[in-house]
Structure 1
Amino acid sequence: MDYSEDFEYSTLVFYRQNHGKQLYYSWEGDIWWVEAPGKPKEKLFSIIGMNATKGFLKTDPEYGEIGHRLNREIGLFCDPETKEILSHWQPKENSQKLPVVHIANRMVQGSVRERKIVIPKGQGYITRINKIPLEYPHPLAQEPKFKDYCSGETFKGVEYFTSSFSRPGFKGAPSAEWARDCPWMPWMKLGYGHPARLHFETTISRVESFEELNPKLVELVRSKLPIYEFTPDQCDEPNITSSIYFKKHFDSYLKGESFPIEETA
């Protein structure tokens, strides 16, 4: 391969090459927490996850072309040592055991405009980190019944997507990574305004078929969440977050039901 000149890469290449295709991504890693300012970081959980994804190249009146992506997403909290999927979590030795509400976002979609990325001469790829600040009114803050499950009036976090962009034909780029700094999850029931923070660190890989995902995810989807195996071409449902999902299934949580809740349609 000739690396003697800079190469300009368009981020819309992904959408051109995969327009309308059903894609699958596997991700796994660890979740750390700092229970309070000044305390050490501790590994709290491991996590295994998947995305069933479709991407589309669309025309746009302002930018000419944009990429649009739709995802069905699952993340399962696991024991950090045994890697077994958790059904309950006990924050302290003598505290209440709490149901673990796994991540089940039936729709997360969004659009991106084109970016041009220059791969310098002599290099087959270049890696970039996309930092996305998150700040919005906490979905649980306004209802008294959620007081013990809400970290504060405002949700504040940051997501980091580490991606590599390659010259045509180059195969040696490292795997993508996703990281997230955020407040504790609502199901952890730490009490209103508790300062604990979580840090997710995961590695992402694309797989060729649904069956190549983690076997535990394949079994779960086919037994309880069949709609997560395939992504629709379009969807008018609002995007789902962990807080919104928790709010929707709060009664099931209080009853101690097993999560994720069955979704067949």
Structure 2
Amino acid sequence: MSVDPSDTRGYFKGFLKTRASLDPVDATVWFTGTIYSYGRPEGARRLFSFDGVNVARVEQWANGYRMLSREAGVYRSPESGEILRRWTNPFTGAELDVIHLWNDPVNSTYDFDRPPVRFGAKVYETEDNVAFAFDALIDYPSPLPVADYPKNSGDDTYRAAELLQFISPRAELEDASRSSSSCVVSWTRLSQWLPWMEMGAEGGGLLYHCHGVKLPEGAAGLPADFREFLEANGPRYLRAPEGWEEPNETSWTYFKHLRHG
């Protein structure tokens, strides 16, 4: 199987076999880590521990594939590990309701006529493993203009960086009898303050450093308290979407929907 980004068909097949499954079945990726503040005069501070899940299904579409997914995540106390309901902002002293991560949908297309090199795709190979890497530098008009959301937004442009690696054993990736290979995930994210943190134009932002794995047992392999939280508050996030929807959801658009319905 080709893993060369210039071989679009082979590359997409290899990547989607790693990231999810070439069969139209749900694939569950769990990721966990720490969220820090950065760019502050007082230095970096550990703000949250984090657990997230993405459940995806791949289907053939037009001249390629498309992946239907949704994802959820919880912000935890970095000391106790408790899933937070309220949070005291250490920079402002404000006690705030925590809005967890509820992104539905998070869909993507993989068109054989659009080489992935356009999206910062790279491949790193060793004798035993293959890593698919993406550097997504995001910059577009913010859904939360500062004039309308002075407490929740510090810029009329939404800026973030998503730095991802999906690593598969070469033997599984090259095994034609398998529709899905096992996968280890690395995810680093730089972003503006979350809207619910009410940091407004305060300088700095957030650094996420997470790692994860595709769970062969699906949602049953999630940490028990995280799975129970989803079952109680968002059970649909334990499965992939049934059909294609647009546009994708983010924490910024979700916050806007909460405020305006």
Taking structure 1 as the reference length, the TM-score comes to 0.79
Q: CA deviation at 1:166?
A: 3.9
Distance 2:183 2:15 in 1: 17
- One-letter identity of the residue aligned with 1:69: M
Q: Deviations over 1:172-202 (max 9, x none)?
A: 98821111101100001012x2222100011
For 1:27, which of 31, 36, 41 is the aligned residue?
Answer: 31
Question: Matched residue of 1:101: which SS?
Answer: coil
Which amino acid in 1 is paired with 2:48? Answer: F
The amino acid that maps onto 2:209 is: E
Trace 1:1-265 onto structure 2 (pairs within 5 A): 8-9=2-3, 10-13=11-14, 15=16, 17-34=21-38, 36=40, 38-60=41-63, 66-92=64-90, 95-113=93-111, 123-141=127-145, 144=148, 146-169=149-172, 175-191=184-200, 193-207=201-215, 208-250=217-259
Number of matched pairs: 237
Report if the CA contact (8 A) 1:50-1:217 is conserved.
no
Instruction: Name the larger-Rg structure.
Output: 1
**Per-residue deviation, 1:214:** 1.6
> Residue 249 of structure 1: SS of its match in structure 2?
helix
Task: Please report how far the alpha carbon of residue 148 of structure 1 lies from its aligned counterpart in structure 2 after TM superposition.
Answer: 0.9
Q: Matched residues in 2 for 1:108 and 1:249: separation?
A: 18
CA shift for structure 1 position 167: 2.5
Structure 1 residues 96 and 169 mapped into 2: Cα distance closer, same or farther (>3 Å)?
closer
Going from structure 1 to structure 2, the CA distance change for 1:94 and 1:58 (only over 3 Å counts) comes to closer
Structure 1: gaps of 5 or more residues? 1-6, 61-65, 253-265
Q: CA deviation at 1:34?
A: 1.8
